[in-house]
Amino acid sequence: MFIKVTKSGTRKYVQLVESYRAEDGSPKQRTVATLGRLDQMDRSLETMLQGLLRATGRQAPEKVSDVIEFESSRAFGDVWALNCLWSELGFDRLGKLVDRDSRTVEHLPLIKAMVFNRLCDPESKLGLLRWLETVTIPGVDEVQVTHQRLLRSMDVLDERSEGVNDMMSELLMRLIDQDLSVVFYDMTTIRTYGLTEGLDDLRAYGMSKESTINRQVMLGVVQTADGIPLAHHVWPGNTAEVQTLQSAVADILKRFPVQRLIVVADRGLLSMETLEQLKALKVKDRPLEFIMAVPGRRYGEFEPILSALHEDAELDLANAKDEVTGETCWQDDRLIWAHSPRVAEQANRARQEKIKAIEDGAARRVDKLDGQDTGKKHRGRKLSDSGAKAWMYNEVKEARLGKIIKVDLQSDLFSYQIDEKALKLAELNDGKLLLVTNVTDLTPPEVVARYKALADIERGFRVLKDEIEIGPIYHRLPKRIRAHATICFIALILHRIIRQRLKAAGSPLSPRRALQMLSAIQKHTVHLGANTTTSGLSNISAEQSSVYTALKTGRPTARHVQSTLL
């Protein structure tokens, strides 16, 4: 039976019609009952529906709208894109390791949730539980996620770290150039919290990258010239940077069968001991190659070389407009130098402005001291020579001009002098970059370009700290700290893949902005009565669709959200 509306003149009638077949088998219809005029059924319709529901033994709602229930919408577009990249890169294979002996809880979905949370909305493990109430992650059942299970998954991740690192190396292998791999290495400090001390504690007091003494851990990252992170290492917070390079390089040689390896490292890692250690390493029976920057504190050792460069009439560095590069020998290795006129001019101008500001302040204090000696009145507190010396000492220290401006702290009277030799050396260093390398088949400009690409790994550290929020670390146990670093490292891999694909597609969006835009695509669930549930997606705009195209993930459709667990 069905409802049919018929028309008679200007009026419409509602009829209950039955379909049947005649004796010859042809389909027929007959009117069972006329329910009334359509324009007069507004009041009786609700009563009629309630009567039919009661006749069938069902509870009749007071209003038709009571049959429909809406669940809170959940973000889906961003985690769906991350899940596509996760599967494409092969991270699902980690389940064979972390869930190998698990009989109750699968650890891989929990690890995946922690990685995605780092990229979408970095939170503590307790905050992650609140975040899961607002998203729908394919393959993750939020009911199974508890704080203790998250911590246990981290423990398993660290227990299987060797196998996990080997598997990630295998997954990343197709993303690197096996004929020539230029590897960049750098370290940063991650602040930790907690006052307790445990066995083999990684938290130790040391000098941070912000030049403050903190309780921290050291994090080293190795990445390719294309910006793909290859490996990470965690050391106690008081470990010297030069002590970490050899083990990091040995690990790369063990895990990646590259034919050639050029290590590019920053200024803090150059020492004679480090160079000898690197030269002792072999890659396919040939010495390991390196490009290492000379620390600024050691530029004084190269004063004769720098002076000769400025005295060379053919180079004419004083009037150069563009960057000039060249090379000479040092300790049986190549010393590559580069001079940037623009950087030199900026550094020189900034230094002169600082010196002038300090000299002007010193002159005012000298005038005030002389005036006090003659009985002249001045506004404010009386000035003393020791007070003037203390002021100037702090100003010089803040401006980092201690080698140029010498304050005589032993004298009874306020006095200082400009060290012209130190000032000349500083001017020689302006705009200079000194690199030590044993690479023989790259020209000086190519060596400089390789080193400048190291800035990309520093951007990676900023991503780890600012977007992925690797620190501060509140974990106490070493295994949890290492597991936390691994989770953030996997998040960094996904971040770099997203960045590469957005850039290749010509998109101006950053990974963070792209994921924020996709998070507006939400899953909606509607309950129609007691037995019918349907799910759907909010509309996908053209701009959001272009992000999916750039990421090569395709757009999510309604069938992708039919169940919370896909």
Task: For 402-428, write each residue's pLDDT tens digit.
Answer: 999 999 888 888 989 999 999 998 998
At residue 216, the pLDDT reads 94
At residue 529, the pLDDT reads 65
* 469 DSSP assignment: -
- Reported as half-sphere exposure (CB side, CA atoms, 13 A), residue 24 has a value of 2
| Average pLDDT of the residues in 542-561 | 89
Amino acid making up residue 234? V
Which range, of 239-243, 393-397, 491-495, averages the lowest pLDDT?
239-243
Please tell me the total number of residues recorded for the chain in this structure. 566
In a domain, 420, yes or no: yes
| Average pLDDT of the residues in 73-99 | 93
In a domain, 434, yes or no: no
In a domain, 492, yes or no: no
Q: Is the pLDDT of residue 565 over 50?
A: no
| Average pLDDT of the residues in 306-318 | 87
Q: Which tokens sit at 149? A: 């299970």
CA 220 – CA 461 distance, rounded (Å): 10
In a domain, 65, yes or no: no
At residue 531, the pLDDT reads 66
In a domain, 23, yes or no: yes
Residue that the structure tokens 């000696």 belong to:
373
Please, which pLDDT band fits residue 52 given cuts at 50, 70 and 90?
Answer: low
In a domain, 517, yes or no: no
Q: Is the pLDDT of residue 563 over 70?
A: no
At residue 60, the pLDDT reads 55
Give the residue from 41, 60, 79 where a domain finishes. Answer: 60
In a domain, 399, yes or no: yes
CA 538 – CA 73 distance, rounded (Å): 9
Give the residue from 412, 429, 446 where a domain finishes. Answer: 429
| Average pLDDT of the residues in 390-400 | 92
Which range, of 213-222, 239-248, 326-335, averages the lowest pLDDT?
239-248
* 473 DSSP assignment: B
| Average pLDDT of the residues in 497-507 | 94
| Average pLDDT of the residues in 218-226 | 85
Q: Is the pLDDT of residue 461 over 90?
A: no
Q: Is the pLDDT of residue 64 over 60?
A: no
- CA diameter of the chain: 133
Q: How many domains does the chain have?
A: 2
Mean pLDDT of the chain: 85
pTM of the model: 0.75
At residue 58, the pLDDT reads 62
Q: Is 245 exposed, middle or buried (0-12, 13-18, 19+ CB in 10 A)?
A: buried
How distant, in Å, are the alpha carbons of 153, 203, 205, 216, 223 from that of 198?
A: 21, 9, 14, 14, 32
In a domain, 485, yes or no: no
CA 188 – CA 190 distance, rounded (Å): 7
Domain enclosing residue 31, as ranges = 2-60
% of the chain at pLDDT higher than 70: 91
Task: For 24-35, write each residue's pLDDT tens digit.
Answer: 778 888 888 887
Higher pLDDT, 286 or 529: 286
Give the residue from 12, 43, 60 where a domain finishes. Answer: 60
